[in-house]
Structure 1
């Protein structure tokens, strides 16, 4: 068996080597000629998998190590008899921790705010459950769910009236509720001054040109963008206006990426009719120095102090802005640099890998920190 894999997928050799030969390639640059002789294709969201890529190949399985599937032509794959699988939920916790890290960096205590969530699938639904467990008031918009699925469902206008608005919807362009440009000029105008607007789903769900117009008219929003329209050659003018900008890495925790690899490995084994020989517990390395001390007695101060120790989101923002400066000076191609930042992304582990030790009097913050996933 010959397996073509995106070079950014971790532990491919460790999981798949016993199944056959593995060839790693840049995901965004995959071409039909790269797939000749291949039996399986492993990708991430940057690879468009459709008839133009696969028609001259013998690929019988496509696995995307991501939650989203808008880069897969599912209709073509089904018609061509090509098995395919995604990794729903694999990086949901990673994205939720990105949200917490962004809010902590902005000094926005979510416990005292009303949070709106657009899209309550794997990621948005997980964020909703986490926030509700912390006693946070939530309003949710997802036209594909019912009140039985989510008791906080409401309409889009009610969500846009919240203090914090988080987008976690996939990108769709047809059907009864297309998500492309769900937020454009009219919707962005409804956001009240001081609102935090965060998109960690798909870039085109927000009309980026309309968002730039909104921010040029008045810088009265705190905007956090991890996803852009288009990628990788994003609007540097918009980057200059947002409070935090990162290169599509919200779901890039090491734990989440390896979970995605494991899920696709299991799916391929199932298609081949064989028992998996590898598992996540065998291959996910422990964190060597995983004990952290908590001294702050106030729950919010404890979170603000602790989260950056695990995930310094400001560093992601800094690297992207420095890339923009180099591109402006003609020192680096921005689009290639955007992909380089993703390829060379440093290892980020999730909160649940860390054990907290509390100084005298700081135990009062334990409940809030446990709700974030820390071991207390």
Structure 2
């Protein structure tokens, strides 16, 4: 049986599938040629990340397709319900990238708090001539320890982020409609773990005014609107720092720019954008925005876990 990993798969995943008797192709097929390639090459499974979509028209055009796999968490680029209604297996790897995304967010929060992103932009250009001025500009940093972070969306990634935040001494508040009270493990290498109870609230408005930092780990709202917009920005503390490593559009981009201009938001880290892969240039060039190109899960360790988890599921579903 042949599998098309259209957006790639870790070598460990390829090896596991090949050892189980599958033939794996990692050749990238353009979106408009996807259905023809699946049919002509006889693929029974197609694996995607965020770059490739598998919509109803592809599913209808490929009667021999048995499985669609998403390397990562969100499956908004797949018509999941329709595929399953047609008898296809639809799988993803929700746990594999949690740590990687959480570490990216923590790195960005540290960097934004100490103006590292901004300094890295301007030191090469102005550092030799304006060293003292830049030192004064960047001399108003703040520490994370003792600050309060609000984590919107308290699934696997949100809980992983909470573990890191607790580990550096932050106060953690969570917002989630579905998660019950949980105990977050704080791991101390060589010394075991400490479990910290967190009870999420269901309404962001209950805590939004208390937060020094906000990190989003949710999709857009059911009607397609942003989770954070003008009304939510108005309720935040002045000088709040945000991070979005979830989905583009979870933060209203126009409202965000206004909040940055007014000083309501001190800085923001964006790993995702409304118009990927062509994000707005006024976001990319804004000095208060630390932009990364959707790399939350892009660590070697996460990619290995994703590849192996996909392989295990494919083998279980198609070979057994």
Q: Same fold (TM over 0.5)?
A: yes
Give the corresponding residue for 2:290.
Answer: 244
Instruction: List per-residue Cα deviations over 1:279-334 (Å, max 9, x = no partner).
Output: xxxxxxxxxxxxxxxxxxxxxxxxxxxxxxxxxxxxxxxxxxxxxxxxxxxxxxxx
- Structure 1 gap segments, 5+ residues each: 275-376
**Cα shift at 1:142:** 0.7
Whether 1:195 and 2:253 are equivalent positions in the alignment is no
CA–CA separation in structure 2 for the residues paired with 1:94 and 1:28: 28
**C-alpha distance after superposition, 1:203-238 (max 9, x if no partner):** 111111221233344474211100111211111101
Corresponding position of 1:10? 10
Could you say which structure has the higher strand fraction?
Answer: 2
Query: What SS is found at the alignment partner of 1:248?
Result: coil
Any idea what SS the aligned residue of 1:63 has? strand
- TM value normalised by structure 1: 0.66
**Distance of 1:40 and 1:224 partners within structure 2:** 35
SS in 2 for 1:123: helix
Q: How far does residue 158 in structure 1 lie from its aligned partner after superposition?
A: 4.0
Report whether the alignment pairs 1:55 with 2:104.
Answer: no
| Compared CA separation, residues 212 and 134, structure 1 to 2 (3 A) | closer
Q: Which residue of 1 aligns with 2:126?
A: none
- Report whether the alignment pairs 1:160 with 2:194: no
Instruction: Report the 3-state secondary structure (helix = DSSP H, G, I; strand = E; otherwise coil) of the residue aligned with 1:205.
Output: coil
Query: 2-side partners of 1:97 and 1:169: how far apart?
Result: 17
Q: Which has the higher contact order (CA 8 A, sep 6+)?
A: 2
Task: Report the counterpart of residue 78 of structure 2 in structure 1.
Answer: 72
For the residues of structure 2 that align with 1:140 and 1:47, how far apart are their CA atoms?
A: 32
Which residue in the other structure is 2:26 paired with?
24
The answer for the alignment partner of 1:98 in structure 2 is 104
Corresponding residue for residue 339 of structure 1? none
Which is worse superposed, 186-195 or 231-240? Answer: 186-195
C-alpha root-mean-square deviation of aligned residues, in Å? 2.2
Match of 1:254 among 300, 306, 312: 300
Q: Taking structure 2 as the reference length, what is the TM-score of the superposition?
A: 0.77
- Separation in 2 of the partners of 1:66 and 1:215? 31
Matches within 5 A, 1:264-275: 264-274=310-320
Question: Which residue pairs with 2:119 in the alignment?
Answer: none
Question: Residue 252 and residue 28 in structure 1: after superposition, are their counterparts in 2 closer, same or farther (change >3 A)?
Answer: farther
Higher mean displacement: 108-117 or 54-63 = 108-117
Is residue 3–residue 38 contact of structure 1 (8 Å, CA) maintained in 2? Answer: yes
Matched, 1:140 2:174: yes
| Residue deviations 1:123-164 (CA, integer Å, cap 9, x gap) | 001112333354421111111123468633233124432001
Counterpart secondary structure, 1:127: helix
Q: 1:40: which partner in 2?
A: 45
Shift of 1:273: 3.5
2:269 to 219, 224, 234: 224
The count of aligned residue pairs is: 270
Which moves more between the two structures, 26-35 or 81-90? 26-35
Is contact 2:2–2:45 with CA below 8 Å preserved after alignment?
yes
How has the CA–CA distance of structure 1 residues 113 and 88 changed in structure 2, closer, same or farther, with 3 Å as cutoff? same
Q: Does the alignment pair 1:84 with 2:90?
A: yes
Residues 169, 220 of structure 1: CA spacing in aligned structure 2 closer, same or farther, 3 A cutoff? closer
Among 148, 151, 160, the alignment partner of 1:126 is 160
For 2:292 and 2:29, the matched residues in 1 are separated by: 19
Deviations 1:46-91 (A, max 9, x none): 2222211221211101111101222222211111100121101111
CA contact (8 A) 1:28 1:46 kept: no
Conservation of the 8 A alpha-carbon contact between 1:225 and 1:244: yes
Deviation at residue 251 of structure 1 after TM alignment:
1.4
Distance in structure 2 (CA, Å) of the matches to 1:118 and 1:8 = 30
CA distance in 1, matches of 2:167, 2:110: 18
